[in-house]
A and B are shown apart, each in its own frame.
Chain A
Amino acid sequence: MSSPTSVKMTPPNYIDPRIRRRYFWMYLLQVWLSLLPTALGIYWIFSPWFNHVLPEPIPILSFSLPELIARVWEYPKWIAIAAIPILMIFLYFITVVTSAMVTKLSIGFLNRLHKPKEGIFYRIPEDKDYLFWNLRNLSRVFLFWVLHSSPSTLLKKYFGYTIFGIPIDRSTVINHTWISPEFVQIGKNVIIGQSASLYSYQVQGNKLLVAQIVIEDNVRIGPQVILLPGIHVKHDTIISGGSFAHPFTCFEENAVYQGGPAQKMEP
């Protein structure tokens, strides 16, 4: 069990190596910014552990949080020890929040420079649409790595998608799936199975196709289903496990689909 390692990594977005090499500084800057509060927090919480390594603590952080807690409760030491797991979860949460904020800021900045668009673009860095599509994906890499490095699926739902304009309802289940974080629209009460992948882009020769995927309410999608750009799944449809479909197909409402390419079936 557990999702395959390939699913555990970044969202399924291809990044051009030419652009990745040229703008790698952007990724490093993001990592630095989003780990800054966490690093300070680690130092603040665990500074008594570093005392024999580092001679003098930073003046502002001259006391640690366990010490503070111990002072308030007049020092039984076990309270400080018992707080450590909670503090670690808190640190992870802070990392998620800050990396989401940094990503949100950088994507907002990129969108100011160039508006995201659907369409067909040339796969050369001189094409502005292609360049900015890649940059947006590059700025999401660290956030998704942070989100996938814990067994929590709730954090991924809210900090990976809902913040960036893909509102995913509480009744919708997207655990252990691969969903493009752009140009996807998911309705209410949808169930998507394990390692199903929803790609809103496709590479065709020297061109890149980007089109929106629409999934309406009450849709059930099985495990290992592959949906390509431009696909429209209407309400109350079931797509059985292991099937895939060509780009720009439209799934009818109240139907059952199976096979590759998916065909209508009567159960």
Chain B
Amino acid sequence: MSATTSLEKNKFQPLVSANLPGKPVTYVILFLEFWVTLVLMYWINEGYYSRIFVGRVWTYFLLPLFLYGLVWQFFIISTIITSLVYFILTRIEPPKEGLFDLSSREAQFYFIRFWICFYSLYIARAMPLPWVDMYVFPIFGSHIGKNIVLYDSWIDPEFVDINDNCMISLNTQLISHAIIGDKLYVKKVIIKKSGIAGAGAVIAPGTIVKEGAVLGGACSTLFNQELAPYCIHVGSPANVAIPIKIKKYESEIPTEKLPQPIETPESDKEEKS
């Protein structure tokens, strides 16, 4: 079995994905980022805080607000520094889609970039407001539309395109990279307008969720699969499509190409009638 032939559309290929530990370079870069962030913060705040508390007892009541501000300051400074580092890394080796060896230059740079994005997104996720990370994703080249829910899910930092009015539920894994044997496969995941991914679903690299398509909870897609518009897709891997019967959309459903929907057993029908 060669990996390239089985990556064709709608053929089963096991999905394995993990972020491999980075090189020592990664730790050095991340340490330097943290160091620069904290030194800058000290430099900005030193004069202010050393003067404001002296002789004014009432200012102690503002301490919670100052701490809250410091948290946001840390986030903003570290995000700016990370975006600079990311920009430099993409100049050295531009991010590419395709199939690479794990030891190749592209794959190694993918992992270094991954950990740099991870650091920034970890801080964004640790902020008191849950939607902050949506403003961090565009820095790493992924498109994030308006009116989106992606609070508690895993989304890879690169090669992700999420359009307006999408919902990505709790614990959904949206993955744009996979490990196939000794190779790394990177492909863009596209979710078009008002697509929905259920809770605990796994979206494989190269998946295209079309307008209004729904992926059921705890279901998984195949590599490079296209989910038909205005249909509910279920199964692991998702091979059953049920059209959503709303008059407004019925003209847009491609009924000829769809896989057979599940028929309800006769006993159920009798009970209902």
Contact = CB atoms under 8 A, between A and B. Distances in A.
A224 B169 CA distance: 14
Interface in A150-209: 151, 153-154, 173, 175-176, 191-195
B170 interface: yes
Contacts of B13: 267
Contacts of B175: 194, 223, 241
Interface in B37-95: 37-39, 42-43, 53-54
Contacts of A247: none
Interface residues of B, number: 54
B219 A242 contact: yes
How many of chain A's residues touch chain B, expressed as a range? 35 or more
B153 interface: yes
A6 B38 CA distance: 28
Contacts of A194: 17-19, 154, 173, 175
A167 B12 CA distance: 34
Contacts of A29: none
Interface in A242-265: 242-243, 256-260, 265
Interface stretch (B197-205, B225-233, B245-253): B197-205
Contact of A242 (B35, B39, B202): B202
A220 B35 CA distance: 36
Given A85-B35, A175-B21, A222 B236 contact: no
Contacts of A256: 14
Contacts of B11: 267
A88 interface: yes
A109 to B, nearest CB: 34
Interface in B117-167: 117-119, 121-125, 133, 137, 152-157
A4 interface: yes
A60 interface: no
A89 B35 CA distance: 10
B262 interface: no
A5 interface: yes
Nearest to A53: B53
Contacts of B124: 2
18 contacts: A1-B154, A2-B133, A2-B154, A4-B152, A4-B153, A4-B171, A5-B125, A52-B54, A89-B34, A173-B19, A193-B17, A195-B173, A222-B14, A222-B17, A242-B219, A256-B14, A257-B14, A267-B11
Pick the 7 closest A-B CB pairs, nearest first.
Answer: A242-B220, A242-B202, A241-B15, A240-B14, A85-B38, A151-B122, A85-B35
Interface of A: 1-6, 52, 81-82, 84-86, 88-89, 151, 153-154, 173, 175-176, 191-195, 220-224, 238-243, 256-260, 265-267
